[in-house]
A and B are shown apart, each in its own frame.
Chain A
């Protein structure tokens, strides 16, 4: 038997990587560093106060808003518009999306229409909605609903298309009725895709909320930002923008909660 001897060179490691994993605190640290740089920069004069307002000044605006009760006066109508508009748009979008996913005729008829409507900036239609639904809440709901509707439709029928056909054949092979197959197989199977579509739709809803409130709203985050902007009151402008950011983070968090509750069967 030949003598076995390990020769000197170690096999170089060349695997690993390409597997993002959660890293705690980094996200918060990025925020903290940016905010600290902002405050220090504006205090030392390195950033001129026409370029950016002071962070502590923006914080003071928040305190004033809260103390005067104006925060809720602006926030509550906005939340109501967002909830109502997004709910109408999402429910209609999921409904139409499921129909497109299930029926060839609906698909043939509506997919080109949705493709035609999708790229229209809905903000451009605001005057039209004002004529149709009045200057009050109606046109605001309509704008947000319409903007939420199209991405929800596209995400929903994509999700329905992606439901494992094997599961549907299984349902048929056991003699399940059409409604049972839709309710017990297609909809649960499409839910992950629908929820991730809602993440996008709700972010669009927030954008449109501001757009809607810039026209003919006395109270609301959008109205507040518009007023601050026209006065070049940067501190208040920033306060409004920060509220929008928080709103975005909150909706994303809520969807995350829904995903964890409804999709626990995934990993």
Chain B
């Protein structure tokens, strides 16, 4: 399934947040959104996911959803948003209940936990898990719905640098095994150039698309040392450096 963002604009309480954003995401493509903090990239993701209504413009989906898709657009959140009173398998089960029978559910949970390496933790509670494992549970939950599009809202920002590196490898592995369409919001340029087929750079508030950088090296062959990846990262930093500095000096409610 592909995604089209058409002239989307949004404002909170008078101040414009997003200004005529237009972006296309092809099926099986990972589009990264980067920009200085407060540029409205997470807001854009919520608009795409239908959690907020755009003030202007619209978000369209096209093409067929994959077979057995239970929730065409599934989120992975920065702070995981796991139910603390449910076990790992219970948290995955939450999004399948009422849609799959008991046996099908058990099978789907076992399958997705095996894919994310969580099988041994099926009956653990979120509080017993490290941040990285919690985010793996949240990724499993999203994958379990067989989504047509995954929306990842700074999924690695709450994790430490080493865990982030490991999860990046996991995400690349998951995509290689079964390519998914995704919009990936981050403020970390290293993540953007490792995971994105294209990287859209937003300006500071009100967010506009400044440039879309395409990186042609296949996801599986990328590392921080790959020349194209390193170049893209330097270019992206050049694009947002001044914006980031200016955004840093902005009062929150001004």
Q: Are A and B interaction partners?
A: yes
Identify the A interface with B (CB < 8 A).
164, 166-167, 169-177, 180, 184-185, 188, 263, 265-267
Select the stretch in B26-34, B79-87, B237-245, B246-254 that faces chain A: B79-87
- If A167-B81, A167-B83, A169-B81 touch, whether A180 touches B49 (CB-CB below 8 Å) is no
Q: Is B75 an interface residue (CB 8 A)?
A: yes
Q: Is B161 an interface residue (CB 8 A)?
A: no
Q: Is B127 an interface residue (CB 8 A)?
A: yes
Instruction: For A165, give the chain B residue with the smallest CB separation.
Output: B81
Q: How far is the CA of A170 from the CA of B94 in the complex (A)?
A: 11
B75 touches A173 (CB 8 A): yes
Q: Which residues of A contact B141 (CB under 8 A)?
A: 174
Q: Is B95 an interface residue (CB 8 A)?
A: yes
Instruction: For B125, give the chain A residue with the smallest CB separation.
Output: A265
- If A173-B51, A173-B75, A174-B145 touch, whether A166 touches B95 (CB-CB below 8 Å) is no
B83 touches A180 (CB 8 A): no
Q: How large is the interface on B (under 10, 10 to 19, 20 to 34, 35 or more residues)?
A: 20 to 34
A265 touches B71 (CB 8 A): no
B127 touches A267 (CB 8 A): yes
Q: Is B77 an interface residue (CB 8 A)?
A: yes
Q: Which residues of A contact B84 (CB under 8 A)?
A: 265-266
Q: Which residues of B contact A175 (CB under 8 A)?
A: 70-71, 95
Q: Which residues of A contact B86 (CB under 8 A)?
A: 265
- If A188-B85, A265-B84, A267-B127 touch, whether A174 touches B77 (CB-CB below 8 Å) is no
- 12 pairs, CB–CB < 8 Å, chain A vs chain B: A166-B77, A167-B83, A170-B75, A173-B73, A174-B141, A176-B94, A177-B98, A184-B94, A184-B97, A185-B83, A263-B85, A266-B127
Q: Is B203 an interface residue (CB 8 A)?
A: no
**Most A CB atoms within 10 A — which of B74, B81, B94, B98?**
B81
Instruction: For B73, give the chain A residue with the smallest CB separation.
Output: A173
Q: Which residues of A contact B98 (CB under 8 A)?
A: 177, 180
A170 touches B71 (CB 8 A): no
**Most A CB atoms within 10 A — which of B77, B79, B83, B141?**
B83
Closest 4 CB pairs of A and B: A170-B81, A265-B85, A174-B95, A173-B75
Q: Which residues of B contact A172 (CB under 8 A)?
A: 51
Instruction: For A174, give the chain B residue with the smallest CB separation.
Output: B95
Chain B: minimal CB distance from A262 (Å): 9
A166 touches B81 (CB 8 A): yes
Q: Which residues of B contact A188 (CB under 8 A)?
A: 83, 85
- If A169-B51, A173-B75, A265-B125 touch, whether A180 touches B97 (CB-CB below 8 Å) is yes
A174 touches B83 (CB 8 A): no
Tell me the B164-219 residues at the A interface (CB within 8 Å): none
- If A180-B98, A184-B94, A267-B127 touch, whether A173 touches B49 (CB-CB below 8 Å) is yes
Chain A: minimal CB distance from B68 (Å): 15
